[in-house]
Amino acid sequence: MIRDITLGQYFPGKSPIHRLDARTKIIGTFLFIAEMFVVNNFWGFLIAGTALFTVIGISRVPLKFIFRGLTPVFLIIAFTFVINMLMFDGRVLWHWWIFTITYEGLIRAAFMVIRLVLLIIGSSILTLCTKPIALTDGLEKLLRPFSKIGVPSHEIALMMTIALRFIPTLMDETDKIIKAQQARGADFESGNIFRRAKSLIPILVPLFISSFRIAQELALAMEARCYHGGEGRTRMNEIHFNKEDIVAAVLMTIFLGIIIGSRFIA
C-alpha cells in the first residue's frame, strides 16, 4: 500500500541542471528564496518567474511534476489568499456582514500567493534535479567549514544518508505490522478521526521497537566495517565544481542584480 512512494522526489535526467554540483544548486536555491523576499513589485515576480521557467525548461522535468509539488500546500496557498484579501483597509470593492474585500487587499493577496508559489516551485527544482545522495554529500561539504565551530557536518550528512536508506525498510516494516494487526482483527478504516488516530498506536509502538532493533544491528554492522566517525574518512566520489558551475554562478549573480534592480521599477 505504501510501496510506491518515491525517495524524495528525484526526477532522473541528464540535463545541465542535473549535472550541476549539488552545492551550486543548494546555494542557488537559498539565494532564490532570499530574492523572493527582496522583490517588492509584480515586475520582479515576472522576471523571477521567467527565469524559473527557463530553468525548468532546461532541466526537462515535465511541468506535471513541478505542479504536483503544489497540491499538498494548496490549502495553505488558499488560506494565505483569503486572509490577505480580507485583512487590508482601502478602497472597498465588496462588503457583507463582517467581510470586506478591498482593492489593496486583493493586490496584496495576489502578491503573497505568487511569492509562495514561486518559493515552492523554486525549492522543488532542487530536489527534483538532485539525487538525494548528492544532496547529502553537497550539504556535508557546505557545512564542513562550520565544523570548527562545532557543527557536526559529517554526522548530519550520515544521518540523512541512513534516513534515506531506511525509509523503504521501515515502510515494509509498517506494512508487515499493519497486516499482522489486521489478521488479528484490528480495524484501521472505520470510526471518526480520533478513533482512527487511536488505532494507530498499535502500529507505532511495534514500529518504534523494531526501529531500535534495526538501529542496533546497523550500528554493529557499521562498526564491523571500521566506522569510527568522520575523522580520516575519504569519499569514493569526491564532488567537484565544473565549468557549468561557474556559468551557473555568473548567471545567479546577474539574476541577483536584476532582482535588486527590479525594486526600483515603478
Partner 1 sequence: MKQENRKTFISVRNLIVDFTHVNEEGLEELKTRAIDDVSFDIEKGSFVSIIGMNGSGKSTLAKCLNGLIMPKSGEVYVDGLSTYDEEHLWDIRSRVGMVFQNPDNQIVSSLVEDDVAFGPENLGVDPVEIRKRVDSALKQVDMYDCRDKGAHMLSGGQKQRIAIAGALAMRPECIIFDEPTAMLDPKGRKQVMNIIKELNQEGITTILITHYMHEAEQAERIIVLKDGKLYSDGKPSELFGNRRLIEGAGLEMPPLIDLRDRSGLPESATTIEDIICLLK
Residue 222 found at the interface with partner 1 (CB under 8 A) = yes
Binds partner 1 by CB under 8 A, chosen from 132, 138, 140, 248: 132
Cell of 227: 566506522
Query: Residue 226, interface with partner 1 (CB under 8 A)?
Result: yes
Q: Does 227 bind partner 1 (CB under 8 A)?
A: yes
Q: Kindly report the CA angle at 37 between 63 and 152, in degrees rounded to 5?
A: 85
Yes or no: say if 112 and 76 are a contact pair by the CB < 8 Å rule.
no
Mutual angle of helices 42-59 and 103-129, in 10-degree steps: 20
Question: Reduced to 3 states, what is the DSSP secondary structure of residue 218?
Answer: helix
Gap between the Cα atoms of 100 and 92, Å rounded: 7
User: Minimal distance in Å, beta carbon 62 to partner 1?
Assistant: 22
Report the C-alpha gap between 69 and 62 in whole angstroms. Answer: 12
Q: Which stretch binds partner 1 (CB under 8 A): 45-53, 90-98, 194-202, 224-232?
A: 224-232
Using the contact rule CB under 8 A, the part of the chain among 66-74, 96-104, 214-222, 246-254 near partner 1 is 214-222
Stretch that binds partner 1, among 57-65, 146-154, 176-184, 225-233 (CB under 8 A): 225-233
C-alpha 120: how far from its chain's center? 8
Asked if residue 212 binds partner 1 (CB under 8 A), the reply is no
Q: Which residues bind partner 1 (CB under 8 A)?
A: 7, 132-133, 161-162, 164-165, 168-169, 214, 217-218, 220-228, 232-238
